Amino acid sequence: VATCTLVDADRCTKRYGRCKRDCLEIEKQIDICSSPRKICCTERLYEEDDMF
């Protein structure tokens, strides 16, 4: 679940994510980066796919 706060690249990396324009299909958005039009993406865990 994205928290919708602006984070810098270092904080995104500490949460095992990367700031990029689009998340891959195997990733999920966890935050919004302070860089223009970039979001913090992290690898999606397989257990999360079974929750829905």
Model confidence band, residue 45 (pLDDT cutoffs 50, 70, 90): confident
**In whole angstroms, what is the distance from residue 28 CA to residue 15 CA?**
12
13 falls within a domain: yes
36 falls within a domain: yes
Q: Domain containing 13: what range?
A: 6-45
50 falls within a domain: no
Residue 18 is predicted with a pLDDT of: 95
51 falls within a domain: no
Quote the number of domains for the chain.
Answer: 1
**Residue 10's domain is classified under what CATH number?**
3.10.360.10
Give the residue among 52, 5, 48, 51 at the shortest CA–CA distance from 26: 48
Report pLDDT digits (tens) over 6-41: 888 899 999 899 999 999 999 999 999 998 899 999
Q: What is the mean pLDDT of residues 33-50?
A: 82
18 falls within a domain: yes
Q: What is the DSSP string of the chain?
A: -----EE-HHHHHHTTEEEESS--TTEEEEEEESSTT-EEEEEPPHHHHTT-
15 falls within a domain: yes
